[in-house]
């Protein structure tokens, strides 16, 4: 299966199978995972009347979420949590209790808000060994078991939304967004993006001045493709994999970009790297199709082989004292969580019972 899709303006999309191409047609764009990234920063959706009735962050009680982070997640307080919850509500999401029904939720997430239209839940991701609330990544549920990285932290998401609202220049909504963004401390000052010298395109400003956002790097790669610069597009994709440690999506993006240019071996290698990451970090994709891209037709056998090799190395490292029992347990838990993504286990709850 070929994953390169040229979307040429004023023309029907066409699938290309290219073995030696090194440049993209002028004005073309390659859609590798989704034409519209599902995790782009949401714009505020409140009406003018709603804006007048909203007094800002005071409308959202962050106490329950703060207590959950401290008592259950056992991390230090997230300073920008009240501002984040207020902004999510302004964007049209419904704030949910952190202790809401979690049977269908990823076991590492602290739910914040739900999109009433799609049902996607925006959460903080509390990975093992995390200790600071301000450093928890912001994620969004994607499909039955996948997660999509939204932002590396609450402050970076607030900063991005402030920049985008300022750039859009929609008076009342911009002011309401910036009020939420800066509610828990100054994050972005109106006009900062315009003052930056030299003037940067929005995506590059976000990448250089704000943080690491998967959709931003994909947009930058596509922008290079628009100009026919394949080398720059591949460099952007490579940098994305380096900055998003532990996430499979950037490797999959890179794999499909390689495939567009007929670099089949590199495409397979990147797809294999994607499968070696936690499978939930790939988002909402067909894992069996990814396995085919990686050159294997049996993803379960692939995962079993990885587990076998890892187990052998783990036993040696434990004996040598270079790996703790806790680290070994976390590795086994990750394998069981992959089983949920593959359908081996019916739910996150059944996986936890296997661990017990």
Q: For residue 240, what are its two tokens?
A: 């994305």
Which pLDDT belongs to residue 259?
92
Distance of CA 93 to the CA centre of its chain: 18
Distance CA(174)–CA(245), nearest Å, equals 33
Which pLDDT belongs to residue 345?
75
* Contacts with 211 (C-beta within 8 Å, 6 or more apart), sequence order: 151, 152, 153, 156, 159, 160
| CB neighbours of residue 348 within 10 Å | 20
Whether 81 contacts 184, CB under 8 Å: yes
Sheet of strand 138-142: strand arrangement = 94-95, 109-114, 121-125, 138-142, 146-151
Distance CA(81)–CA(101), nearest Å, equals 21
Give tens-digit pLDDT for 333-350: 888 888 888 887 777 765
Q: For residue 32, what are its two tokens?
A: 């590798």
Q: For residue 188, what are its two tokens?
A: 């972005």
Whether 174 contacts 166, CB under 8 Å: yes
Whether 194 contacts 169, CB under 8 Å: no
Q: For residue 135, what are its two tokens?
A: 């450093």
> Is 1.25.40 the CATH number for 5-31+214-276+287-293?
yes
Give tens-digit pLDDT for 290-307: 988 988 877 777 767 666
Which pLDDT belongs to residue 80?
96
Domain boundaries, the chain: 5-31+214-276+287-293, 33-211, 299-355
Is cis: bond before 227, omega within 30 of 0?
no
Which phi and psi (to 5°) does residue 151 adopt?
-160, 155
Q: Which of 304, 305, 241, 303 is nearest to 278 (CA)?
A: 303
Pairing label, strands 94-95, 146-151: unpaired
What torsion do the CA atoms of 79, 83, 85, 88 make, to the nearest 10 degrees? -140
H or E element at residue 142: strand 138-142
Give tens-digit pLDDT for 222-258: 899 888 899 999 999 999 999 999 999 999 999 999 9
Which pLDDT belongs to residue 34?
44
Ranges of residues in the chain with a pLDDT under 50 are 1-21, 25-28, 32-40, 49, 52-53, 55, 58, 353, 356
Q: Which of 97, 217, 301 is nearest to 225 (CA)?
A: 217
* Contacts with 65 (C-beta within 8 Å, 6 or more apart), sequence order: 81, 85, 98, 110, 112
Q: What single DSSP character describes residue 139?
A: E
| CB neighbours of residue 315 within 10 Å | 12
* Contacts with 104 (C-beta within 8 Å, 6 or more apart), sequence order: 347, 348
pTM listed for this prediction: 0.82
Q: For residue 190, what are its two tokens?
A: 């109106």
Q: For residue 260, what are its two tokens?
A: 């567009």
């Amino acid at each position: 299966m070929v994953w390169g899709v040229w979307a040429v303006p004023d023309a029907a999309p066409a699938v290309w199978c290219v073995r030696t191409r090194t440049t993209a047609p002028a004005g073309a764009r390659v859609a590798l995972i989704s034409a519209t990234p599902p995790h782009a920063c949401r714009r505020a959706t409140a009406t003018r009347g709603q804006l007048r009735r909203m007094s800002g962050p005071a409308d959202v009680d962050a106490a329950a979420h703060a207590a959950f982070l401290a008592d259950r997640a056992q991390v230090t307080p997230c300073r920008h949590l009240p501002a984040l919850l207020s902004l999510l509500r302004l964007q049209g999401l419904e704030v949910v209790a952190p202790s809401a029904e979690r049977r269908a939720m990823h076991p590492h997430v602290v739910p914040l808000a739900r999109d009433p239209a799609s049902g996607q839940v925006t959460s903080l991701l509390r990975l093992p060994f995390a200790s600071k609330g301000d450093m928890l990544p912001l994620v969004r549920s994607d499909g039955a078991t996948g997660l999509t990285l939204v932002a590396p932290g609450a402050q970076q998401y607030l900063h991005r939304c402030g920049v985008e609202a300022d750039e859009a220049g929609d008076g009342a909504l911009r002011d309401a967004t910036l009020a939420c963004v800066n509610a828990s401390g100054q994050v972005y000052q109106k006009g900062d993006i315009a003052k930056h010298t030299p003037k940067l395109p929005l995506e590059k400003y976000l990448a250089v001045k704000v943080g690491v956002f998967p959709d931003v790097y994909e947009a930058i790669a596509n922008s290079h493709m628009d100009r026919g610069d394949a080398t720059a597009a591949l460099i952007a994709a490579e940098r994305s994999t380096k900055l998003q440690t532990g996430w499979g999506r950037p490797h999959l993006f890179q794999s499909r970009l390689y495939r567009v240019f007929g670099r089949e071996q590199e495409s397979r290698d990147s797809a294999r790297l994607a499968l070696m990451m936690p499978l939930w970090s790939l988002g909402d994709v067909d894992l069996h199709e990814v396995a085919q891209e990686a050159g294997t037709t049996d993803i379960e056998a692939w995962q079993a082989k990885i587990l076998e090799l890892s187990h052998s190395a783990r036993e040696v490292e434990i004996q040598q004292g270079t790996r703790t029992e806790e680290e070994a347990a976390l590795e086994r838990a990750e394998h069981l969580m992959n089983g949920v993504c593959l359908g081996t286990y019916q739910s996150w709850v059944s996986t936890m019972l296997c661990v017990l």
